[in-house]
Structure 1
């Protein structure tokens, strides 16, 4: 175990509405160090946390002028966290779906295995849309093939990353900036020798009346996932058939 282990909760946010404040408040109740990256938000949610700063010394807000996608926001937050002396980051969505109460347990697991990528495996409740639950099954079958079964769920963004390998993998590629971020970064980190630990975590879905927000575009983002898996399968096939190393690009 390294002499120092410092973990921060990293929350990328784009037009998250009122759910951003409730999500951050729930995290601060269980973990003191939080960085929120507002990714070019235009709904005013990027300023809803300003009054919380004086009371929470461990809360940092990074405002990005333009929307660059989740992967871009995570990269900017990870670079800031590394410079600030953190070694790990737990990422969670701003929309309240991820379980803030599980943050300490996930970070404790990461502390016990600091070289590992700790991946949340979603436990869906009855309110979860059936299309979302079944739609991820194909991606998980493919990612299981691409990673030798190391990654049990590739689309769940509740994770603890060791920051240095995360930044290395992201900076080596022009991809992994949008909806393809969560699955591809997990696969490529495993390919680079980062062990993966999988831990169940509850998921909560909110309907529109409860403020639920989704930025998933069915055609655009599914197309992006198809091309992502083609990239990964091609790289995986090169290694299996030709013995060539798996690159990050």
Structure 2
């Protein structure tokens, strides 16, 4: 297993530069994909990365969304010879101390997607915490299973072969729908998922790109699409449940 850190970045330069020493301390190579940030943001991130070895900085000409940046990063990672990519957010929400535990699980289960299951502190907005319960309900219906313990956390190790298989078989959204849709369609392909508890914080003065109207409408559209997809695949999913897969 040859793993890198994969960080999609969009105008989070202040948080990312403060977070960067923790990422470097993991000892893993870093692939940062800038998702069409403002020029000043790109420049600050590129300058910070230039101080460290084993860092790669790729830029997208326009904003594609988090999912689009992760998809591009997976291609870059594969071309650089990596077999796995540990996606972690650029804004410091995720607990870098858990990287070692994620890696141990990935080494034991190299074909599985290792997923973070958030443990929130008091900094977490209530709307985001309760909104996850709604997502949990829908993904259980869409997969006819309880295999997805959390469909929104972006702290994951992706085996590149397995997620490329998902991309080859299915459309996966490019924006806030990406994290959920990828796991649902991975379950449809019977890809192994393993969840690990991880602390998630909301740093002070953090900048969120989540738009409650636009992105909630996007998620409604996502779950409508996934429910229709589930109905089309209902016999296969039922057969997988009967067989215990």
- TM-score over 0.5 for the pair: yes
1:118 aligns with 2:118: no
CA distance in 1, matches of 2:49, 2:37: 19
Figure out how many residues of one structure are paired with residues of the other and give that number. Answer: 239
Q: Which runs of 5+ in 1 are unaligned?
A: none
1:217 aligns with 2:214: no
Q: Residue 14 of structure 1 contacts residue 38 of structure 1 at CA under 8 Å; is this kept in 2? A: yes
The CA deviation string for residues 24-82 of structure 1, in whole angstroms up to 9 with x for no partner, is 22111123311000000016222223344454321111111110011110011100111
After superposition, the CA RMSD in angstroms is 2.0
Q: What residue number does 1:12 align with?
A: 8
Q: Which of 201, 205, 218 is residue 202 of structure 2 equivalent to?
A: 205
Question: 1:193: how far off?
Answer: 1.9
Q: Residue 67 of structure 2 contacts residue 178 of structure 2 at CA under 8 Å; is this kept in 1? A: yes
Q: Residue 17 of structure 1 contacts residue 43 of structure 1 at CA under 8 Å; is this kept in 2? A: no
Q: Residue 13 of structure 2 contacts residue 45 of structure 2 at CA under 8 Å; is this kept in 1? A: no
Question: Secondary structure at the residue paired with 1:49?
Answer: helix
TM-score, with structure 1 as normaliser: 0.89
Which stretch shifts more, 165-174 or 132-141? Answer: 165-174
TM-score, with structure 2 as normaliser: 0.91
Question: 1:17: how far off?
Answer: 2.8
Q: Which runs of 5+ in 2 are unaligned?
A: 240-245
* Distance change >3 Å, CA 242–CA 20, structure 1 → 2: closer
The CA deviation string for residues 99-128 of structure 1, in whole angstroms up to 9 with x for no partner, is 111112101211110010111000000111
